[in-house]
Each structure stands twice: as structure tokens, then as C-alpha cells.
């Protein structure tokens, strides 16, 4: 799923290409993409884009008359400049200077569009998470311990923190040298401060790395240069130990046992139950 760095790059490029340009029409190819009926989508046809913004992991197209078109790419949604219709195309946004296409890989259609009017209606789509890059460590701490969750769950909860998902939470926790299953209310102040700094550093560094001269066409959750995410079995760039994983549902958490859990191999819900006593307890027990 595109997260804060990826969505930020999308917004910057859309602003460069389309701010001040007229939207001629939106052509939908999937009836379930648009999740609102009032105001009708035709209300933005012929209107000029006044700008773009980010709302968590959502991209907001702003138009005069307090009209906001809110796009959530979810896991597999991607944008393409001068894109043409393919079997994965959900919509074409036809502007006076070119066409923006929205595609979604796979068969599950999760991407969504909302057209709302007024700032109050726009705020209603905001899950409420704070922007870590715009807040101080005390506000971060209060948000982190608001509920008692694992660090992984807390970082990826859009009601707590905006724009962080599965990929960058792995990178943040590795940078902070903290276990993904550590509980938020058990975290001492020194570790909270370390997590705060790591969160800011990782998001800022990856946003800078992803900036290019052209429109971003290779948006992925798996990036060369990531420390642990998507690198199961490969050596940790810090200590050389093989990166470990916890698999649950459609998500996978990657971590370094030596850097983050004191050498302990965390239980995988399915595999550890299967292996039982054969499940390795520490990084040193691995073959």
C-alpha cells in the first residue's frame, strides 16, 4: 500500500502537472470505485484544480466551490500519467493537458473515490491519526499510549498515526531497535523518544529518496535499500543476521532478531504452532 513517502511524491507530481488545469471529465470503468452519490461526479467536470493535498494515505484533488475528490489507493491502486485504458484500469481523469489513469492490480477492488463538498465533509474522511512530521515528542508519546497495542499495530493504526503502513513501520522499528510486539504502555520514555526520532528519520529519508524528475511509475512496498521489509532470510544490513518474519492474514512483519528482540525469534501464528517444540527460540538456534 502506498504510504506517506509514496503518497507525498504522488501529490508533489500531481501539483506540478495539474494545478491550475481544467478537469474535462472522469471516466469510470468500475461501478464500485465511487463511494458517494452527492454531489454528483459531474459537478467537477470542467472545473479547474486549485491544488492537491494528502489526508493520511489518501490523495485529495481540491476544486473551487469547496469540492474535494478523495482517492484512496489501498493496497494495489496506482496512478499513471498519460496512462491508457487497460484491463486493470478503474478510471481515467481527462485533463486539458493530459490523462491520469488509475489502475488496480489483482481481482479485489479496494481502491475508492469520494466526492465531498465542504471542509467538514473532508475532515469526516480523516481517521484522525497525527502527522508525526508535524508534531513534538510529547504529543507522539500521548498518542502512542492512548491504547495498549503492540508497536506494530500502533504505528499502522490510522486513528493514531497518519500515513504509516506495513512497509515503513518495519523500517521504523528496525531503526529504533524495538520489537514489533512490544506493548506501547510498557515502553520507557527513552524508547519512546527513540521511536519518535526513528519514525521521523525513516519517513523523511524515504520521501527524499523517492523524489525523481518524472512521474512516479514504480510505486511498490518493496524497495532496494530497505533494511528489513520484504527481506526475509536476507542479512540484516546492521548485524548480518537473517531477517525474520511474522505472517498473519495478508500481512507480513519483518524484523531482525539480533537488533530488535535480543536474539529471540518471535512466534509465527501458524508455523510456530505447527512446529511446536521444534520452533527455534533464538537466532542462535537457526540452522
pLDDT 10s digits, 194-246: 999 999 999 999 999 999 888 998 898 889 999 999 999 999 999 999 999 99
Please, are residues 49 and 62 in contact by the beta-carbon 8 Å criterion? yes
Residue 285 — very low, low, confident or very high, per pLDDT cuts 50/70/90?
A: low
**Boundary residue ending a domain (123, 143, 160):** 123
Q: What is the mean pLDDT of the chain?
A: 92
Q: pLDDT tens digits, residue range 83-106?
A: 788 899 999 999 999 999 999 998
Taken in order 83, 86, 89, 91, is the CA torsion positive or negative? positive
> Which pLDDT score is estimated for 115?
98
- One domain for residues 119 and 150: no
Q: Give the CATH number of the domain where residue 164 resides.
A: 1.10.8.50
Res 283 pLDDT > 80:
no
Cell numbers standing for residue 28: 469510470
> Which pLDDT score is estimated for 275?
39
Distance CA 99, CA 81 (A): 6
For residue 109, the enclosing domain spans: 4-123
Q: pLDDT tens digits, residue range 121-131?
A: 999 999 999 99
Taken in order 235, 236, 241, 242, is the CA torsion positive or negative? negative
Structural domains counted in the chain: 2
Length of the chain: 287
- One domain for residues 77 and 174: no
Q: Indicate the pTM of the whole model.
A: 0.92
Please, are residues 152 and 181 in contact by the beta-carbon 8 Å criterion? yes
Amino acid at each position: 500500500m502506498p504510504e506517506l513517502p509514496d503518497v507525498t511524491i504522488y501529490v508533489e507530481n500531481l501539483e506540478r502537472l495539474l494545478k491550475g488545469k481544467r478537469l474535462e471529465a472522469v471516466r469510470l470503468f468500475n461501478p464500485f470505485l465511487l463511494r458517494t452519490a452527492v454531489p454528483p461526479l459531474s459537478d467537477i467536470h470542467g472545473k479547474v484544480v486549485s491544488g492537491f493535498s494528502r489526508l493520511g494515505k489518501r490523495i485529495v484533488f481540491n476544486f473551487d466551490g469547496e469540492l474535494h475528490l478523495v482517492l484512496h489507493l489501498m493496497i494495489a491502486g496506482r496512478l499513471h500519467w498519460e496512462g491508457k485504458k487497460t484491463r486493470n484500469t478503474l478510471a481515467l481523469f481527462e485533463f486539458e493537458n493530459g490523462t491520469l489513469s488509475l489502475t488496480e492490480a489483482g481481482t479485489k477492488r479496494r481502491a475508492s473515490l469520494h466526492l465531498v463538498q465542504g471542509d467538514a465533509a473532508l475532515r469526516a474522511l480523516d481517521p484522525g491519526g497525527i502527522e508525526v512530521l508535524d508534531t513534538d515528542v510529547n504529543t507522539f508519546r500521548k498518542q502512542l499510549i492512548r491504547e495498549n497495542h503492540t508497536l506494530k499495530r500502533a504505528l499502522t493504526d490510522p486513528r493514531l498515526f497518519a500515513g504509516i503502513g506495513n512497509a515503513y513501520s518495519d523500517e521504523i522499528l528496525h531503526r529504533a531497535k524495538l520489537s514489533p510486539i512490544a506493548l506501547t504502555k510498557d515502553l520507557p520514555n527513552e524508547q519512546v523518544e527513540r521511536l519518535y526520532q526513528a519514525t521521523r528519520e525513516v519517513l523523511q529519508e524515504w520521501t527524499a529518496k523517492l523524489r525523481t524528475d518524472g512521474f512516479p511509475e514504480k510505486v511498490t512496498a518493496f524497495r532496494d535499500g530497505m533494511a528489513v521489509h520484504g527481506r526475509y532470510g536476507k542479512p540484516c544490513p546492521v548485524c548480518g543476521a537473517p531477517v525474520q518474519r511474522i505472517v498473519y492474514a495478508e500481512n507480513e512483519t519483518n524484523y531482525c532478531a539480533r537488533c530488535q528482540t535480543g536474539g529471540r525469534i518471535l512466534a509465527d501464528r501458524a508455523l510456530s504452532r505447527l512446529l511446536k517444540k521444534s520452533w527455534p527460540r533464538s537466532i542462535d538456534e537457526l540452522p
